[in-house]
Amino acid sequence: MTAYTLYLQKDDFMYQVLYRKWRPACFADVSGQPQVTQTLKNEIKNGRIHHAYLFTGSRGTGKTTCAKILAKAVNCLDPKDGEPCGHCQNCIDFADGNMLDVIEMDAASNRRIDDIRALIDEVSFSPAKGKYRVYIVDEVHMLTNEAFNALLKTLEEPPAHVIFILATTEVHKLLPTILSRCQRFDFHRIAPEDIADRLEYIASQENITITREAALLTAVIADGAMRDSLSIMDRCIGINSAIDADVVRQAAGLAQTDYLFTISAACINKNVRRAIDIIDKLHSESKDMAKLCAEIINHFRNFMLIKTVKNPRNMLIMNDSEFEEAQTQCDYVSLADIIYFMDVLQRSAERMGKSSSDRTELETALVKLSSPELDGSPEALIARIVKLEKQAKLGGLTNTENLPPLNEDKLTENKKAEQPVAPPTTAEPAPSTEPAEQTQNQPQQSQTKQPQQPTARRAVNQEELYANARPFPEWAEIVENMKNYSMTIGTAFSNSAAFVSGDFLLIDVNNDMAFNLLRHDPNQKERIRTAVQEMTGKRYKLGPYKPPVQEIKKDDPLKKFAEDLTNKGIEFTEE
């Protein structure tokens, strides 16, 4: 009987994951590392190849990929502008894994001095097919000190046909004597935009769809690692071939942004019951509490950037409605509160894994955020002191207490329709054209609805208003402070002056932009009023300063002539 052996190709029964299938084959395909790829191409093109290279950087940024491309390029029979041609026999053998002159070694598994001695013994052999024998040593920081010392001499003066490429994620663990013998290249975290572009290209080649928002979210979750991004994309394909942001969150085990905004609103409103209810719901859905804590910290980090950065939109990965909601919630909380929230959550995250329950740690943190008096840490005391100072300046109320209650139950898609973008302001009459507000001492009007007579309310006495106006010396400092959050306001009111008259702050400015802000933009007007209140502790009505024009009396010659005749006893009559 004849025996038959069936040989199957690995690709016939095993799915090849995306990060292996789409590993770049040339420097041009490497994303986000131009400082590395361009230098290596120039060195190959000019024949200035070094004997030892050191590639450092975080995981998934292309260190091993560039090492393999470099090994293929130096042995390519027909390189093109520093790139391997991909068609010669050496390039084909390298792609098939049959290139004997390229040796990959994992220092995590071969870290002893005996392993390095075996490598040194092989160095003296000439290349089989290529021009160089290339040794790629991955995770080189795992070598023992004895192994490093054994490698030093060979690394400094290897044979002319040998190239060492060392790769590590922890360069600080390498001996200085190793660093000084290598040409070092630092790999940066890949920008989210570069990762998103690569994901969209791969998706088009794999006949799947991915939205730009989903691609950017994947890049943020991967923290600048292309390999991790492709792994997340692999999991997303298993859920749905049409990948959107919700699919990415489901694949990565993240909470929906609606829950994050609800938790932050509950913390701002000091609604501990609502915050605990959300944690209970997410825990029942098997959400990882440590990961959820990290998400909440990052959520408040977005708030911190909105509060501190001039143009934060490009730094935040969120859609327009989410950014608008974040801006709205930021109006209800101070920067000191945001920093305090992040500190409490960070301490909770550090204790997770060590305590009996990660869920209990997160719930305790949210209780502290909703009830700061329960937290005796220095950060909590500082946050409470800042709030008291703010209240003292504003006469007992903080800026957020002047705002309407923050809604905690809106869905992301309904935020814009249900919640105002900016705090509402109370309309105030301009002193030069509108009647004054009714004082508390005046009797209240009857509840019976009757047409209101314009003469029932006392008009502002403009002459008295401007006559009693006195200079407001703090105005210049207030204008400078306003420039920190709105350069438009600061520019419009530069070189202006202000006067105080009773409850009115009258602003003297000679440009149309400032008058338009005072008359037609209630949001900016409210900002000016709040800035004045923070400085003085008093809330003024705003208006333009328009002093009355004094009339010039002209003498009537005929009247003067008649008076002179009368004084002389002569009767004068006008006909």
Mean pLDDT of 252-268: 86
pLDDT at 136: 93
- Any domain includes 565: no
Tell me, yes or no, whether 112 and 247 share the same domain.
Answer: no
Model pLDDT, residue 243? 92
Instruction: For residues 225 and 292, state if they share a domain.
Output: no
- Compute the mean pLDDT over every residue in the chain, rounded to the nearest whole number: 78
Instruction: Among 418, 453, 482, identify where a domain stops.
Output: 418
Q: Which helix (H) or strand (E) holds 66?
A: helix 63-74
Distance, CA of 303 to CA of 326 (rounded, Å): 7
How many angstroms separate the CA atoms of 76 and 45, rounded?
Answer: 12
Residue 556 belongs to some domain of the structure: no
What per-residue confidence (pLDDT) applies to 186?
Answer: 94
* Domain final residue, candidates 132, 163, 187: 187
Which residue is listed with tokens 């800026």? 399
Q: Which of 203-212, 358-367, 427-436, 513-522 has the lowest mean pLDDT?
A: 427-436
| 136 and 241 part of one domain | no
Cβ atoms within 10 Å of 559's Cβ, excluding its own = 10
- Residues 336 and 407 both lie in one domain: yes
Across the range 504-525, mean pLDDT stands at 73
- Quick check: 381 pLDDT over 80? no
Domain boundary among 165, 187, 209: 187
Mean pLDDT calculated for residue range 248-259: 84
Give a yes or no: residue 564 inside a domain.
no
Q: How many CB atoms lie within 10 A of CB 204?
A: 11
Rounded mean pLDDT of 184-209? 92
Average pLDDT for residues 160-171, to the nearest whole number?
93
CA dihedral 370, 256, 295, 338 (to 10 degrees): -40
Residues 142, 288, single domain; the answer is no
- 452 has pLDDT over 60: no
**442, pLDDT greater than 60:** no
Pair (148, 196) in one structural domain: no
Q: Are residue 411 and residue 491 in the same domain, yes or no? A: no
Sign of CA dihedral 406, 409, 415, 418: negative
Claim to verify: residue 221 and residue 293 sit in the same structural domain: no
pLDDT of residue 531: 78
Find the Cα–Cα–Cα–Cα dihedral 279, 285, 291, 294, rounded to 10°: -30
Q: Choose the weakest-confidence range: 32-36, 100-104, 453-457.
A: 453-457
Residue 456 lies in a domain: no
Is there a domain that residue 38 lies in? Answer: yes
* pLDDT (tens digit per residue) in 383-411: 667 666 655 655 544 444 445 556 655 44
Domain that holds residue 221: 192-252
Which runs of E-coded beta strand occur in 446-555?
470-471, 497-501, 504-508, 541-544
The pLDDT of residue 484 is 66
Indicate if 94 and 162 belong to the same structural domain.
yes
| Cβ proximity of 245 and 413 under 8 Å | no
What pLDDT was estimated at residue 540?
81
For residue 134, being part of any structural domain is answered with yes
- The CATH number that applies at residue 537 is 3.30.300.180
Q: Report DSSP state, residue 51.
A: S
Three-class secondary structure of residue 104 per DSSP: strand
Q: Give the CATH number for residue 165.
A: 3.40.50.300
Same domain? For 93 and 213 the reply is no
Question: Has residue 417 got a pLDDT over 50?
Answer: no
Q: Do 517 and 399 share a structural domain?
A: no
Please count the structural domains in the chain: 4
pLDDT higher than threshold 90 for residue 44: yes
221 plus 269 within the same structural domain:
no
For range 2-11, the mean pLDDT: 47
